Structure 1
């Protein structure tokens, strides 16, 4: 009989694990270049993480070698007096020989009852598995809006928030920090100066693939409410022209009143589990702005 294999253990990812985790994810997602993962992990290393929660996620380890990984992204969307801890369950990969241990990752990553967990990139074939874990869909699809066809807010000036800004006039400090932080991630953070007050928005450049063609567009990463975006869609549409984009993609569960566009459920379903209610229009500090589409 051969010697027994070393036991598998699951633990938090530390700074010293990042090279091994990057290699593992590059093998698991061959369409993603290594730089995609190393860049995203650098942003995770630099961003604020709530005290007492993992910075990167969890790994499966055998005999000192990483054989599985689940990235998580924690954020606090509450106040110091009333924290609201959210966790984006992000990229997951386990080497084929160790798939029987994959549930160790998901079980440990979802064990905190005070945390609201979200999965914003679930592949269609995993939907039944995710629902069996207690998740419910809070977003059914995507709305591809065409803001250049809107007249809403056309007279409102728009201000781009720079990555090196220190304040944003008229915007609360925590929200201003969100805008500046996402500008550092490479997103387009703006404030529309409407007559009703400042409207902060975060947009991220993406490409809509149609056959062999890819049309430039923007994903709505953050807004206070979808109605805020609708109220200034015309101004946003003119802004998009300067960035060579044709559409703003919005999380939705149906067509959006006041906007011209197309709704689809072929992609975009998102899941949630935990004590906090979901809100459409807020993908801030998730895998999308940190790692990219």
Structure 2
């Protein structure tokens, strides 16, 4: 078979979006896929991933999201491996897409939703596991105490007023990301920007899946007002969170059996330097 491995350029976004709508997730429209492929943050992205082309047609895709991050005062380049979809008759060639991505020099790689045979494949290629313990917490209508020193808001204008510095910059990067939902929590001790996404595992009711908190101490103190906000303002009955992300395990949390894994490959960064931002978790509302 004459099958080419080519980078996904801006000119290819439309046909890749049609392929992903038809073969990976039909709940997302072609337009939604196209928007997801071009996330709102600025990055020196060499491509949107790689694709397999046979007889001029897209027969396989491995998406990638790129970001330039400042960690410990130094700039680091990240490549997040995202949706991987190959037509059955071309599955034996799938590895060519992964190799094309990993051959790109100078990147730290993350794979935040690998499944099935991808996990042992990643292990053989030098990926390490992040702690992906998952717990569930019911969102309850806790009594709202009339305290003027606490704030819980999802108003974009109020968020802009409360955040500053790097948190404000990262918020603006993610403000228009399709899957990201934003809440800012503030008390006398500080301000926390929290990011969550809506998930519906196995056709269950919507959950809020926590993606990021900017200040774990504030988040812990404001956790009850946060979950109350999710219930009353977003209609979400429960929150799924990883204690690694939240910084603690909430009282009454129930461990959720899951095959979810988080993995990364880096020669220099420790696991505590890897977060879930600038990834498909905020870009793709699957």
TM-score, with length taken from structure 2 = 0.83
From 254, 260, 280, the equivalent of 1:268 is: 260
Structure 1: 5+ residue runs without aligned partners?
Answer: none
RMSD over aligned Cα atoms? 3.2
Distance 1:226 1:60 in 2: 42
For 1:191-202, list aligned pairs within 5 A: 191-202=184-195
- Give the match for residue 24 of structure 1: 19
- Give the match for residue 131 of structure 2: 139
Query: Cα 1:134–1:154, aligned 2, differ >3 Å: closer, same or farther?
Result: farther
Structure 2: 5+ residue runs without aligned partners?
Answer: none
- Give the match for residue 85 of structure 1: 77
Report the count of equivalent residues.
280
- Give the match for residue 32 of structure 2: 39
Shift of 1:233: 0.4
- Give the match for residue 214 of structure 1: 204
Secondary structure of the residue that 1:215 maps to in structure 2?
A: coil
TM-score, with length taken from structure 1 = 0.82
Distance 1:20 1:270 in 2: 29
For 1:1-293, list aligned pairs within 5 A: 7-29=2-24, 31-35=25-29, 38-45=31-38, 47-51=40-44, 53-78=45-70, 82-146=74-138, 148=140, 155=147, 156-162=150-156, 165=157, 168-186=160-178, 187-209=180-202, 214-242=204-232, 243-252=234-243, 256-274=248-266, 275-279=268-272, 282-293=275-286
Shift of 1:281: 9.0
Shift of 1:154: 8.9
Query: Cα 1:54–1:103, aligned 2, differ >3 Å: closer, same or farther?
Result: same
Query: Cα 1:64–1:34, aligned 2, differ >3 Å: closer, same or farther?
Result: same
Shift of 1:139: 2.5
Query: Cα 1:229–1:149, aligned 2, differ >3 Å: closer, same or farther?
Result: farther
